[in-house]
Structure 1
Amino acid sequence: MALKTPNTSPNSGPQTAPDSKRLAILLAALIATAPFAIDTYLPAIPAMAADFGAQTHAVEVSISTFLIGFALGQLIGGPLSDRIGRRPVAMIGLVIYIITSAIITGVDSATALNVMRFIQAIGGGFALVVVGASVRDLYDGKEAARMFALIAVIMMIAPLAAPTVGSILLVWFNWQAIFVLLVVYGSVMLIVVGFKMPETTKLRPRYAGPARRVWWTYLEVLRTRKAAGFMLTHTGASAVMFSFLTDSPFMYIDFFGVAPAQFPYLFGANIAVIVLCNRLNNPLLRRMELHQILKIGVGIQLVAVMGLFLAINVFEPSLYTVVPLVMVSVGMIGLTAPNATASFMQYFPHIGGTATALMGTIQFATGAVAGMMIGHFHDGTLLPVTISMLGFGVFANVMVHFVAEAKPTDIASALRQQTALQAEK
């Protein structure tokens, strides 16, 4: 992988670019704080609801609450990391994540759970936002897409293992043990980040403008039309996954009557497809451009969600048809995410943290809204979740074809324009 030329300014001194594989493992472990916080407790939601004396959906709302906090954490943490560095922001986020995870073990109501999950997610957002920004500091174009894909395939160990780990903990302990695990994992990551994570902002020009100017860079990102198209394509494709994620315990355990112990296997099947698609990305990048692969991914996802909608709402729903269609609908994230992210990030070489923050904020906020809407219109059927998945599948395709519509020459031109603008400033 080709790394950017290190910055050798008098203030920073020469910097050695980190080993890409080691960095990918570290960043993947850092980003895994999010799926561990979400997926590990999915099998425990019915037990938590019973413990609180609440309905299952009252506890499921905590998924949407977490996504909102996650979005806010990225919105704040991204510009902050552009100014003070990636590592300090990651460490602050991990401290928040650890403390709130410990507090959650003592909550006794769904309301208290939602409040603490919101704060916990802010810390998680701080930790996640530095991952994309660090990659942007070091890589461009297809190299960035390959790095995002490598991080993703390593990171997928977390959502693949998390529901199984949660189920095992429920067998031997109570649901509080799941959050004790998050405390332990967060503490380990705090030590690793503190001693092993390189400060990648030293490898690119640091933003030196006034603090208030940082927030105006969000407008700059939004005004870059085709970049916004890539961002919204990723948002739509991700919202398909988040819609399923929010309602997955109800879909499999309540609606289809799957035993909680079997839930991790059905959930893990989706992760297996994500990993498979992710690994296909590198061979495809040798023959195709980023935007071409992205269009294929969202197209296949749309076909799958259309089939899922028909299989559940028109025909007699069966696990034998629903599970494969869900696997493809969710699994296409492995193909869409790295290419949409890399395409989007190419437009913003000097404000990687801010750009990553905005993308993450819109992505997770949309996922949260989708979850809340599914909960609000929940009627004991799978119609709300399938409408949500279908709607966002259509949205992603509209965005990639009619808003992004980028070609390699478009992106190269945008890069030159952005670099010229930064030089003038």
Structure 2
Amino acid sequence: MKTTLQFAVLMAATMAMGPFAIDVYLPAFPVISADLGVAESQVALTLSLFIFGLAFGQIVGGPLSDRYGRAPVLLTGLFIYAATALMVAASQNLSWMISWRVIMAFGSGWIMVSVPALVRDNAHGKEAARLFSLIALIMFIAPALAPSLGSLLLWLGDWSLIFWFIAAYCILVGVLLWFKLLRHLPKRDSKHEPVAKLLTNYVQVLLHPIAWKHIVIQALGFSVLMLFVTHASFMYQGWFGLNNAQFSAAFATGVGLMGVMGIINRRLLLTYTPVQLLKIAVGLQLAALVVMNILLAFNSTSLWSFLPMMVIVGGTVGAIAPNNQAAYLEYFSQLSGTASALIGALQFIVSGTITTLSTLLVDGSITRITLAMLLICVPTCLATLSLPRAETAPQSPPA
């Protein structure tokens, strides 16, 4: 199957369901709180538990997609996602809402883990990295527009309309996936292995001499980004005194650079390997963090010196994530679902844990936030520098 814009759009629309389910209902927190008679902090549990449910769904769905094929697992995940979105919309109390959100996250994990596996099934090496860059570029639209869309839906109706919309979006994407892609996939030979074998496949991935380095890069690299997202409001508004409009513009600048980096990365992949570009991107991120921390240490930073460095830190993720994922999956032609599940789940678990701890440790200090980002970036850089050229690395044995 050729790597086409249509394929990239379908994969991006599918992959965006996880982030979309996180961001689109954020404006409705006060309304949900009032409607269900609970505090907003309790409503936030529907978000934090969703993250961990998403990770668990990927862990279970990845090996199943290797065994039974991409289409059955992806379609099942879409069904769970749409059905539970409707049940969330009908929830009359917080307990039921949390329960259905966790199940929704589980289905979302099955959806999200299928996308990298499908890319790996249809593209390799530079081609896969270029496709991941294009998918990431398109995906930036979802989290950027989701809160605004949620506000619009909230203006048109009550908060349940948001989840009706999510279900309708899932059904539409599912129909397009079936007619444009899934029904044309070749049937995959089922490997009638015991469940224990599906679990030991994870051990096989972890014991690969190179793959674990890519997992570290992905998990810690995503953690740097999530630290920024978690504390962006405090840094820009609390520390530098920006108003809402200025904060939105500053935040959008970083998202915009991620898109630009994705475009540049696609062009550079015509000449350089994913691993070469990964090393450059991580090095650039580390350099920006070093400069930022030096300026803060000498109290010589201003918004206009801080902002470019922070934009680079966030923007480089547009090159780090697709190149790292493409290089990592190149080792697992037979276990791409399991490999995708492992790197995706650990990315959410590690970043979720780090950002949660950061809220307790940074204590309202911008220097502690940037220092934490630097300390996380250093092992990411060391792991990246130790990577061989992906093209000369040995493949993993078949499952």
Q: TM-score range by the shorter chain?
A: 0.7 to 0.9
Match of 2:172 in 1: 188
1:88 paired to 2:77: no
2:323 match: 339
Identify if the C-alpha distance between structure 1 residues 364 and 152 changes in structure 2 by more than 3 Å, giving closer, same or farther. Answer: same
Of 27-36 and 185-194, deviating more is 185-194
Unpaired runs of 5+ residues, structure 1, are 1-16
Does residue 242 (structure 1) correspond to residue 242 (structure 2)? The answer is no
Q: Describe the superposition over 1:345-392 as per-residue Cα deviations: whole angstroms up to 9, x where unpaired.
A: 111111111111111111111121122212344634445543442232
Distance 1:395 1:63, change over 3 A: farther
Structure 1 length normalisation: TM-score? Answer: 0.81
Deviation at 1:196, TM superposition (A): 3.0
Q: How does 1:288-307 map to 2 (within 5 A)?
A: 288-307=272-291
- Residue 54 (1) aligns with residue 39 (2): yes
Q: TM-score, normalised by structure 2?
A: 0.86
Contact 2:19 2:142 in 1 (8 A): yes
Change (3 A) 1:65 1:248: farther
Tell whether the 8 Å contact from 1:78 to 1:129 is kept in structure 2 after alignment: yes
The 1:140–1:390 alpha-carbon spacing in structure 2 relative to 1, beyond 3 Å, is same
Kindly state the Cα deviation for residue 327 of structure 1 after the two structures are TM-superposed: 2.3
Cα deviations by residue, 1:50-87 (Å, 9 ceiling, x for unpaired)? 7766366x655654432221111110011111122212
Structure 2 unmatched ranges of 5 or more? none
Cα 1:200/1:113, change in 2 over 3 Å: same
Deviation at 1:259, TM superposition (A): 5.4
Inter-CA distance 333–240: structure 2 relative to 1 (3 Å threshold): same
2:392 corresponds in structure 1 to 410
Superimposed CA distance per residue, residues 289-326 of structure 1 (whole angstroms, 9 cap, x where no aligned partner): 22111011111112233444456676387554444333
How far has the Cα of 1:117 moved from its partner? 3.7
- The amino acid across from 1:156 in the alignment is F
- The aligned counterpart of 2:122 is 138
Give 1:359's aligned amino acid. Answer: I
Q: Quick check: 39-48 or 118-127, which moved more?
A: 39-48
My pick for the range that moved more, 91-100 or 72-81, is: 91-100
Distance in 2 between residues matched to 1:388 and 1:106, nearest whole Å: 41
Q: State percent identity of aligned pairs.
A: 34
Task: Determine helix, strand or coil for the equivalent of 2:346.
Answer: helix
Contact 1:300 1:332 in 2 (8 A): yes
Aligned 8 A contact 2:133 2:262 in 1: yes
After superposition, where does 1:78-117 map in structure 2 within 5 Å? 78-105=62-89, 115-117=99-101
Partner residue in 2 for 1:233: 217
Q: How does 1:17-416 map to 2 (within 5 A)?
A: 17=1, 20-44=4-28, 54=39, 62-105=46-89, 115-169=99-153, 175-198=159-182, 202=186, 207-252=191-236, 264-309=248-293, 315=299, 319-377=303-361, 379-382=363-366, 385-402=369-386, 405-408=387-390, 410-411=392-393, 414-415=394-395
State the 1:108 CA deviation. Answer: 7.5
Residues 74 and 125 in structure 1, CA contact (< 8 A), matched pair in contact too: yes
Q: 1:105 to 1:148 in 2, by over 3 A?
A: same
| Matched residue type, 1:229 | K
Q: Which moved more, 1:66-75 or 1:317-326?
A: 317-326
Answer yes or no: is the 8 Å Cα contact 1:134–1:200 preserved in 2.
no
Distance 1:339 1:27 in 2: 17
With over 3 angstroms needed to count, the CA separation of the structure-2 counterparts of 1:136 and 1:59, relative to structure 1, is same
Structure 2 residue matching 1:287: 3-state secondary structure: coil
CA distance in 2, matches of 1:102, 1:387: 43
Change (3 A) 1:91 1:312: farther
**d(CA) in 2 for partners of 1:168, 1:261:** 18
Post-superposition offset of 1:191: 2.5
Q: Residues of 2 paired with 1:96 and 1:163: CA distance? A: 23
- Label 1:113 to 1:122 Cα distance change in 2 as closer, same or farther (>3 A): same
Residues 145-185 of structure 1: CA deviation (Å, up to 9, x unaligned):
11211222222221232233234445665555443432222
Which one-letter code corresponds to 2:176 in the other structure? V
Shift of 1:42: 4.3
- SS in structure 2 at match of 1:224: coil
Count how many residue pairs are aligned between Structure 1 and Structure 2.
Answer: 398
